[in-house]
Structure 1
Amino acid sequence: MTTAQASRTESMVRVTVAYVIAFGAGAAWFAWGPETEWLWLDGLIADLIATVVIFGASRMHHNSSFYDAYWSVLPPLLMLAWWIESDAPADDTRSWLVMVVIVLWAVRLTVNWIQTFPGLHHEDWRYPMVRERAGKAEAVADLMGIHVFPTLQVFLGMLPAYVVVTRTGRDVGWLDVVAVVVGIGAVTIELTADIQMHRFIRTRQPGQVMDQGLWAWSRHPNYFGEVSFWVSLALFGLAADPDAWWVFAGAACMYAMFQLASIPMMEQRSLERRPAYAEVVSRVPRFVPRPPRRGRADV
């Protein structure tokens, strides 16, 4: 085993142990902690407890990328906890459909994280930027900006699943079918984009930019797929309660985050490192995929 492999293996073990402790702490709150009047709030408190544990591990290892896997690992566990604690029957069809879509999404994203995880010697380039901009308040920025804020965002996106398991009784209908199609389609788009990007990274030449496959249709097909997944959950929530239009709030926040923060940061970095990316920007749509065409792209 090479030094790099040993470092990656040891890092993976450390991350795994931290997540076991974190979710164990969250589960302990669910099982033995004082209950609130609302199941959703119990879930939020357990979620934040687990987040704080991961934050502690991040600070201990001087690497906020400890949190990266949290985004994909937490949702199926939260869905399961709500389902167990609610009065939803174990054979509720809509709940099973939601769980299947969430698990497919979580497995795809977690496997992609595992494949691209080099070890704890590496940290996402955005995290030091956040801490440096905060100056003396870097620990607060680390906790709130890198850990708690994404946790709250994912929690908001998961509220439609809470609606599904707590407001049962409506028959599965056409909107559920649409939600399944959108959800599986979203995972398929993200998986395809992952495979194409991994293949490109293995074979790319210096300065070459990605504009092949789905990446010729959208500059960020992975982000489009991600937002589509959260829209799928919102559709399930609306199917369970047609009056709960607020279930789209999570998907809307995801869309805003990608459009106002993630995409601008990624594109600025790409333009600085690869000048040829400017030509891709001029002809490939920014977000919603469409067949490639000549001329300047709509953003």
Structure 2
Amino acid sequence: MSGDEGTYRVGRGLASASRAVGFAVVVLSYVVAGMAAWAVVAVVRGQHPLLVTFYADLVATLVVFVASVLVANASVYDAYWSVAPAVIVVAWVVWRSGGDLGEVSGRQVAVVLLVMAWAIRLTANWALSWRGLGHEDWRYVQLREQRAGGLPWWLVNLTGIQLMPTLVVFGGLLAVWPAVTVTGRAWGLLDFAAVVVTGGAVVIEATADRQLHRFASDPANRGGIIDRGLWRYSRHPNYLGEITFWWGMWLFGMAAAPGWWWTVVGPITMVLLFAFVSVPMMDRRSLARRPAYEQHMRRVPALLPRPARIARGG
């Protein structure tokens, strides 16, 4: 038995722990990660805040990774996707304002409120669906079983499940940096567009998740394919909402500092991640479990609804 397998089996001994214990482990891991990130900020003080944030983000991710290895559950990282951005954005606003709330601009308030709404909703959605240390995302289980070339699981976990999403999200946050630190431009039409796009994205995600939970909780729908509500127009409206959220953040960045247009790499990366990784994985799983899903795929687009279908209401 390899050391990797031994650690995994030892960690899985916690799988029978209660859900409350599981959440306590996650919270403790994130508190330690936050303390480690704060230590990094103190050590590398004097460098550009973006670089400092990047270093702190990486170190916090490593702490969460270590926790996931100790309890043999990669899903310990899952909430980091939504928790870290909220902490980072608030920290940037505090840094820029010097802690003086009277110096906070309308754009900064709008960005913080929308990011917090997105983060709280997404984190709550994860918390409602995660059943504890005995529950690991099916995608991680699949990666563990199918990893190519006999790569050690810890390496797949570190690079593919934790570091990669951290880097992708940090790319999305690049546009938020000018949005909350460049305060010389007055509120304009692009800000209103950003509010509509970002707020609409949060509503889309929340609505899609609520519809999916309601569908899945009905025993009559067991084995069925959701094709009602937003799911009637898109196979993955929750992913569409997530992608749209990051485009809205980019619009805020453009409203504050057009010279930061190149941060469009963030939302573009989000599109690539969901379109070429998340959507195909979900579709393959549905195809394997539901034979009728192939016809559903032909009828309903993966992300963007077809205008003609919306016009005719189905």
User: Does the residue aligned with 2:221 lie in a helix, a strand or coil?
Assistant: coil
The residue number in structure 2 matching 1:95 is 108
Distance (whole Å) between structure 2 residues aligned to residue 78 and residue 19 of structure 1: 14
Cα pair 2:16 2:133 within 8 Å, conserved: no
Equivalent position to 1:73, from 83, 103, 109: 83
Post-superposition offset of 1:29: 2.1
The residue number in structure 2 matching 1:57 is 67
Equivalent position to 2:94, from 79, 84, 91: 84
The residue number in structure 1 matching 2:50 is 40
User: Does the residue aligned with 2:104 lie in a helix, a strand or coil?
Assistant: coil
Matched, 1:143 2:158: yes
The residue number in structure 1 matching 2:10 is none
Cα pair 1:220 1:287 within 8 Å, conserved: yes
User: Does the residue aligned with 1:113 lie in a helix, a strand or coil?
Assistant: helix
Cα pair 2:86 2:119 within 8 Å, conserved: yes
Distance (whole Å) between structure 1 residues aligned to residue 134 and residue 259 of structure 2: 48
Matched, 1:120 2:133: yes
Cα distance change of structure 1 residues 178 and 92 upon mapping to structure 2, 3 Å threshold: same
Matched, 1:11 2:27: no
The residue number in structure 2 matching 1:232 is 248
Equivalent position to 2:143, from 98, 110, 130: 130
Equivalent position to 2:295, from 269, 276, 279: 279
Of stretches 251-260 and 16-25 in structure 1, the one that deviates more from structure 2 is 16-25
Equivalent position to 2:232, from 216, 222, 225: 216
Cα pair 2:195 2:248 within 8 Å, conserved: yes
Equivalent position to 2:194, from 138, 160, 179: 179
Number of corresponding residues: 290
Post-superposition offset of 1:207: 2.2
Post-superposition offset of 1:93: 1.3
Cα pair 1:170 1:240 within 8 Å, conserved: yes
Deviations along 1:238-290, whole A, 9 cap, x unmatched? 01111221121111000000111110010011000111212211211210134
Post-superposition offset of 1:69: 0.3
Q: Which runs of 5+ in 1 are unaligned?
A: 295-299
Cα pair 1:63 1:120 within 8 Å, conserved: yes
Letter in 2 for 1:13: A
TM superposition score normalised by structure 2:
0.88
Cα pair 2:216 2:222 within 8 Å, conserved: no
Cα pair 2:208 2:237 within 8 Å, conserved: yes
Deviations along 1:130-153, whole A, 9 cap, x unmatched? 344142333222111111110010
Of stretches 36-45 and 191-200 in structure 1, the one that deviates more from structure 2 is 36-45
Post-superposition offset of 1:164: 1.8
Letter in 1 for 2:87: L
Matched, 1:22 2:38: no
- RMSD between aligned residues: 1.9
Distance (whole Å) between structure 1 residues aligned to residue 77 and residue 205 of structure 2: 20
Distance (whole Å) between structure 1 residues aligned to residue 201 and residue 225 of structure 2: 24
Cα pair 2:16 2:134 within 8 Å, conserved: no
Matched, 1:110 2:123: yes
TM superposition score normalised by structure 1:
0.92
